[in-house]
Structure 1
């Protein structure tokens, strides 16, 4: 096996988030799916944007957020995603490169524009996401560079991007290349709506031994397993992948690796502001722990620390020194 250049290479949606405060009355008046993610078209994006209050523009996208966390933890990463030749595309490319993530995919000319996610945060810190996928859903397989795929220890796939046909084909090409190179493949399920459309695809990939690490939350894992019984869902899916990581919000997280099962509680948060990116940053902590060859418990703890930081402020990317927070937290554990 050749030497790797990156700890994680991710393929995902290249999105710019616009985050705005809203109350439950606004959510109801706009007929939004509170706490969930809804795909919208360009017309709906314009209408909703016009109705929103003042917004904060922050580069996002689930997998890109995870890489941003990994970069802040000192790990080398790269991203594959499609933006358009427009202002938001320039914003996304600048932000991701400034974070220390390698990103070399050329911008796509013409329409549609760069993807946009309109996020409404209610006083209970729930985030309601409304996503116009734009150019991100036109990532062609020919932009998947075999040498780039082979250069990463882990290929990380964003479930959201499995929905459009063109990037789904690109991701399957990337899986083929990663497996041929002896690399690990990780998948995040992203959202229950993705599972409702592509659950059988994901299960088939797992049954074929093409997924090594599966990230899910409680809603997603039960949806994928087709049962309301969380423990039954965990047992079913853990049997299909070498490593299953499942978050449970305020109830912490679990991981199952073969016969080993580990659980950690959620980290305390002094002020819950915005849950956007909690799962993304949890994955960042886990990936960092895996790259550092830490115990499964340490990996989950690192994930919990990163998630706690990102939900304490607006936006899905860390603001504090999460590497320091992780060191302090693991050091405290070692001292006990």
Structure 2
């Protein structure tokens, strides 16, 4: 048995969550429902202009890993923070969930700070993300522990991490170490605009290295540059062994080897959509590495997603295993 079921690699961030009306987005020039990269000055300005906010350790892949750890999975995370106040918060929160986190801190002398994502949540539950990457942008191959990657049944790569000068090389090192030891590789596409910036690199990785692809409908259409959802799913299924494509309130489509399952969503009052895809992936991977069939993986993923969108913040607050039991899945 390998030491880790899943090791995640992504942008280590602290989420700053605030509520606002749509009018605020227009006034502040924020694109609704997407992730925009911002610099430090913009981060400071936005933080000053939002109302009361809640600060929670976040980052897409970190949320996924926290979900796996919450379920009792053997898991670890790689992502860079600075030796500063937000960096300490991030590391403490992730370790408190039960995940291994050993990435070397950027020193206090580093000009860039720990990354943060200012998430504006509108009344419809949609989240609009304004991301200052900070030191996490500079994750490099030196931060990848090949022995740790070799000890993973799966690694989970965050698409957002493609934004960084050395990120592609870091991913390549992780993939080679994991696959060289018999492990498998999953990736989440993260965001349509991220795909636009790195489509060729994504396609190359999907075709040649990925065993499990996570995405949502918008990301799927963006990746294959089509408005035909069925066509995009077919193309993806021809390139990767397993596809798990979420479709908001329509649930998830799972494809493998000519088989296809549609798993309905769990009806939920949306409070904050932040982290829905992250927790879907976490529960799906936990289920997969514990021997559940793909349809059950999808059901558990949908339950976890429904839990996280029922409250502010991208980490689970209820006992996910208990929720699985309530749905007759364990």
Tell me which interval the TM-score lies in, with the shorter structure as reference length.
Answer: over 0.9
Q: Distance in 2 between the 1:207 and 1:241 partners?
A: 6
Give the match for residue 224 of structure 2: 225
Q: Which moved more, 1:225-234 or 1:65-74?
A: 65-74
Alignment of 1:109-120 (within 5 A): 109=107, 110-120=110-120
Q: Distance in 1 between the 2:214 and 2:300 partners?
A: 15
Q: Distance in 2 between the 1:47 and 1:245 partners?
A: 37
Q: Is the 8 A contact 2:272 2:311 kept in 1?
A: yes
Give the match for residue 184 of structure 2: 184
Q: Is the 8 A contact 1:159 1:188 kept in 2?
A: yes
Q: Distance in 2 between the 1:70 and 1:316 partners?
A: 13
Q: Distance in 1 between the 2:62 and 2:119 partners?
A: 17
Runs (4+) off by over 2 Å: none
Q: How many residues matched?
A: 328
TM-score when scaled to structure 1?
Answer: 0.96
Per-residue deviation at 1:312?
0.2
Question: Is the aligned partner of 1:263 residue 2:265?
Answer: no
Q: Distance in 1 between the 2:207 and 2:161 partners?
A: 20
Q: CA RMSD in A?
A: 1.0
Secondary structure of residue in 2 paired with 1:25: helix
Q: Is the 8 A contact 1:185 1:211 kept in 2?
A: yes
Per-residue deviation at 1:168?
2.3
Q: Distance in 2 between the 1:92 and 1:185 partners?
A: 25
Give the match for residue 84 of structure 1: 82
Q: Is the 8 A contact 1:84 1:111 kept in 2?
A: no
Secondary structure of residue in 1 paired with 2:281: helix
Secondary structure of residue in 1 paired with 2:271: coil
Per-residue deviation at 1:157?
0.3
Give the match for residue 139 of structure 1: 139
Per-residue deviation at 1:167?
2.2
Q: Distance in 1 between the 2:182 and 2:111 partners?
A: 37
Give the match for residue 273 of structure 2: 275
Unmatched 5+ stretches in structure 2: none
Secondary structure of residue in 1 paired with 2:166: helix
Q: Is the 8 A contact 2:155 2:185 kept in 1?
A: yes
Per-residue deviation at 1:44?
0.4
Alignment of 1:84-233 (within 5 A): 84-109=82-107, 110-208=110-208, 210-233=209-232
Q: Distance in 2 between the 1:292 and 1:148 partners?
A: 20
CA shift digits 1:242-283 (9 cap, x unpaired): 1000000001001101121111111011x3100000000000
Unmatched 5+ stretches in structure 1: none
